[in-house]
Chain A
Amino acid sequence: MVGLILVACGGNSSTAGKGSVHVLAVWAAAEQDSFMATLKPFEDQTGIKVLYESTRDVDSVLATRIAAGNPPEISSLPSPATLSKYAAQGKLVQLDNGILDMNTMNAQYSPGWIKLGTINGKLYEIFAWASVKGLIWYNPTKFAAKGYQVPTTWADLMTLQAKIKSDGTTPWCIAVNSGAASGWPGSDWVKEIVLSQSGPAVYDSWWQGKTKWTDPAIKLAWQTWGQILGPNDSNVSGGSKTILSQPFGNGGDGLFKNPPKCYMHNQASFITANFVTQDKAVAGTDFKFFPLPDVDPQYAGAHVGAGDAFSMLKDTSQARALIKYLTTPEAQAIWVKRGGKLSPNKSFDPANYPDDITRQVADVMTSAKIFDFDAGDLMPTAMFNAYWQAVLKFVADQSKLDSILQSLDAVQATAYK
């Protein structure tokens, strides 16, 4: 019977030529096209075939494959907490031990990026692309019509929000509905405030699970977000019901309504694609952004970013070649030019950015005095899921903050083991 099947299915085998390398990541649709375009020169030059698999649920699929002894050679692994678990189990391949040329790496990446991928002094993860969070999108036409000015300080932002409110409109549009992942857009707010308000030391010890959620610094960040939301979420279009039920992809639609439902929307730069398709908006005239102003001037220029990391789970010559390739500015430029990504590489030429908005976003990243990685992505999965859920509960009833933070402490106590 097996013989028959072998004959029957042999036609689909694809491991020909110079071998192949399996890659598992989250990118689908247009992102997948961009990633495959990035890989094209690699495949052409080396003859190695990249077998790419995409799933939204990378964590679970990878956990299953690793436990079963069948991991892909290369995978995107966002969370250092998960990463250190696999590293401790010996499931990861160390990269600074002959695979990557560390002189080149150190010349091209700032120490922050290298440190992020390092566990117990060993490099396990490299970053190919980056993005910036905490961008406040606004509609310049509508701003001009009301004579609103782009705020540069936190006080300015508070004044502007009060003015918009007294003019009879809600200042903000916020949408946290993302199906099973609901809450993350709100969690971005909180982490941006933590970094800008209490600085990188508190921020780092917080995501590492050493600073409790009930710590005054973290509680203050939630309360500061509460000032953005207003009493009973009254600063946000539609209040808590809209915040919770509106899909995050539609979050900024209110900026373009006539009259506008809100004047500001906080989201990473991917949202501009939604502005263009859903709202027929034009970059520059209908939408622009300003970075979230510094909450505490002591930590001026602090920004939260995110990145696309790769780790190696099986050591093959094909996988080595690919991981090297992904660290080169040439490879990174291919996707960057297609839009939607920034390069974390120091030797990257900004002329490669496809438009003005992307160049401005890249400028926020490169000129940042403090640039820290997305705390949510750094926490163990159980922790950031609880974090997202806490956002939903906080939006529904801000007065429950203390009990919400206590339950987050309870999760924190077990999630990091």
Chain B
Amino acid sequence: MTTMRLQPVGLPETEVTRLEVFLRFVGKTTRGQWVLVRDGAAELLICAATARRLIPSHSMSEVAVLPEPGEPQNVLARDIALPPVLDLEALQALLMTVESRMAVADALPATAPVSPLPAAPSGPALEGRFRLIRWPGADLLRSHPKAVRLLGLLARESLDMDRLQTLSGLDRAACAEIVQQLLRRDLLAWHGCPAASGAPVKRPASRGAPEAAGAGERTTASGELHLGLLTRLRRKLGLS
């Protein structure tokens, strides 16, 4: 069984004890066993907001920040913001979030540098390829109605900006804005090495984003038939 380490940073002893107790109940997951460590390497750091600056920016650990009333949040984009009171359910949700991030990282090609950090793509060019790791909430969908089609594409395949623009039918500025929004919300994985044109892209195994059918199974004609049906359904329902 895999052992995963959780390390408190700058938390009062009462919070650390609470974490230890909670881990007895929710520390065992399908991926492995979470244990609390006081020092050394750890997959997850739970830190007080005031202690966030103690964690180096190059740390590979996931960071969850426990806010303190009246204190600045000091939460970075990649950080996981915790509720003020870390109860059993919140801790369980946190562990699952971290595990899902680890699963995504494990599934991506080891040779390609992967970072969900918003800072990774530099400048307006947004180099590299992007892939959705979690769907955004309704707020983004409502503020960007055209984002839904783009999200459907990114959920299935890692795409660079050129291909995303072509397939979605959106202009580059709209694509870039939506991608930036997703990056800010930590919803995209970023592949730094652009794939050769037409090269197959390995994707994390997910029921929502299964491997594409092989060439022999591709049904372009029936696909177009179905697309026609979906277009008529959209029109009937008044969808864009």
User: Do A and B originate from a single complex?
Assistant: no
Interface residues of B (CB under 8 A from A): none
Interface residues of A (CB under 8 A from B): none
